[in-house]
């Protein structure tokens, strides 16, 4: 199996920590490494994945990314206090173009922009960030004397936060902590009234869902074809490609069902993502986990369910490919294998979409145009 050799910087990005933290873990032998003839540290990608899994199993909260944009001479006043916060890792840039590329590639939960009232370039950067659908989850902290009518950009108080340019380090740390605490509270399993077990890496899984940029995107034929094929091959009236957010079961594709989402607490897929094999419920009315579920007692009157995991390139379960029937039934082994194969196909297409998005952001002309749009 392919197990590439990666740099300390790449390991840090994969873990979601600062390079300094990754170097510390290497020095503490938490990560096996070696030095090249030139004196540079290298690690195996599999070792980084193993460490990430151990951290998740120990309920360690990996730091979240804060992306800082400011003039070169003012970067330190933002980076230094934030770099001391254990709950975050910091990336910084003075180039609006590079900042936008990094934002589109890494999808950070918080971006801080040093933005004076007469700085049109920074204002365009903020507008590009808040106007892009892939960054719909991102909060923007605007540091400076901002007098523009930001309402015309359709900015809501929930996503944009203004602080004074001379705000103290304590005030900056407080707002970043508040944003992170709010995000983590919404991602914590207790925030969603789920029954049964919850994955030990649920916080990291939800970060992967956010980083995928899938939720609330338009329907695509590439995924509708898979649900239609699943329904046809397995003779089911309903087939769904689901993504599980903190509070929603959102359908990237839904065949035979009109609604586009349900509450997370109703999702059969909560059980699917906990296992590697296809999860099957032959008769939901006699299964104590589902007998009182609103999707069983009411429309669409689920009786039979079978779901296969949908995973990203790092192995996190984003949701499932599921088939549903209104009558009790069972699946042959060959049918389970077919559903699992279609699930892997859906995973591949999702990962291709994620990679395509990253490549689009890496294309300089496209990103530059988004920074030079007229008001």
Collapsing DSSP states into helix, strand and coil, what is residue 344? helix
Residues in the chain, total = 375
CB neighbours of residue 57 within 10 Å: 10
Q: Provide the residue-wise pLDDT of the chain in tens; the chain has 375 residues.
A: 457 788 888 887 777 666 766 776 776 566 778 888 888 888 888 788 777 766 655 444 455 778 999 888 888 889 888 888 877 778 888 888 888 877 876 778 889 998 765 567 777 888 888 777 667 678 888 887 665 555 444 444 467 888 887 788 888 888 888 887 665 544 443 334 444 556 667 877 887 887 787 888 888 899 999 999 999 999 999 999 999 988 889 999 999 999 999 998 999 999 999 988 999 999 999 999 999 999 999 999 999 999 999 998 888 899 999 999 999 999 999 999 999 999 999 999 998 887 776 666 555 444 444 444 443
The pLDDT of residue 262: 92
Radius of gyration of the chain (CA): 23
Q: Are 82 and 353 in contact (CB under 8 A)?
A: no
pLDDT of residue 374: 40
- Residues pairing with 100 in the sheet: none
Structure tokens at 80: 């230094």
Is residue 153 within 8 A of residue 130, CB to CB? The reply is: yes
The per-residue DSSP string of 192-247 comes to S---S---TTHHHHHHHHHHHT-TTPPP-HHHHHHHHHHHHHTT-SEEEEEEE-SS
**Residues 187, 285: Cα–Cα separation, whole Å:** 30
- Classify residue 3 by burial, with Cβ atoms within 10 Å: 0-12, 13-18, 19+: exposed
- Delineate the domains of the chain, giving CATH numbers in brackets: 5-57 (1.10.1660.10), 64-187 (3.40.50.2300), 202-359 (3.30.450.40)
């Amino acid at each position: 199996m392919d197990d590439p050799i990666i740099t300390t910087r790449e390991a840090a990005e994969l873990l979601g920590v600062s390079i300094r933290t990754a170097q510390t873990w290497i020095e503490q032998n938490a990560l096996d490494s070696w030095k090249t003839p030139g004196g540079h540290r290298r690690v195996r990608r599999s070792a980084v994945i193993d460490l990430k899994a151990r951290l998740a199993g120990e309920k360690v909260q990996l730091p979240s990314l804060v992306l800082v944009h400011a003039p070169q001479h003012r970067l330190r006043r933002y980076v230094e206090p934030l770099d001391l916060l254990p709950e975050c890792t910091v990336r910084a840039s003075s180039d609006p173009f590079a900042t936008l590329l990094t934002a589109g590639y890494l999808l950070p939960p918080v971006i801080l922009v040093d933005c004076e009232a007469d700085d049109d370039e920074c204002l365009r950067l903020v507008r590009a960030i808040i106007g892009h659908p892939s960054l719909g989850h991102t909060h923007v902290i605007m540091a400076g004397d901002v007098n523009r009518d930001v309402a015309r950009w359709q900015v809501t108080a929930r996503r944009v936060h203004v602080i004074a340019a001379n705000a103290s380090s304590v005030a900056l740390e407080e707002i970043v902590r508040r944003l992170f605490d709010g995000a983590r509270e919404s991602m914590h399993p207790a925030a969603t009234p789920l029954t049964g077990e919850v994955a030990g890496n649920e916080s990291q899984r939800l970060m992967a869902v956010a980083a995928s940029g899938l939720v609330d995107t338009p329907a695509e034929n590439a995924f509708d074809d898979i649900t239609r094929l699943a329904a046809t091959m397995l003779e089911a009236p309903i087939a769904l490609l689901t993504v599980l957010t903190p509070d929603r079961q959102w359908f990237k594709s839904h065949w035979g069902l009109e609604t586009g989402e349900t509450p997370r607490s109703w999702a059969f897929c909560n059980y699917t993502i906990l296992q590697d094999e296809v999860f099957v419920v032959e008769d939901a009315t006699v299964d104590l986990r589902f007998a009182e579920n609103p999707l069983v007692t009411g429309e669409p009157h689920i009786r039979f369910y079978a779901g296969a995991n949908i995973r990203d390139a790092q192995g996190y379960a984003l949701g499932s490919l599921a088939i549903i029937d209104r009558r009790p039934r069972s699946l042959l082994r060959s049918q389970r294998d077919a559903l699992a194969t279609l699930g892997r196909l859906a995973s591949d297409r999702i990962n291709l979409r994620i990679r395509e998005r990253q490549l689009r952001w890496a294309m300089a002309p496209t990103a530059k145009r988004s920074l030079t749009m007229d008001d």
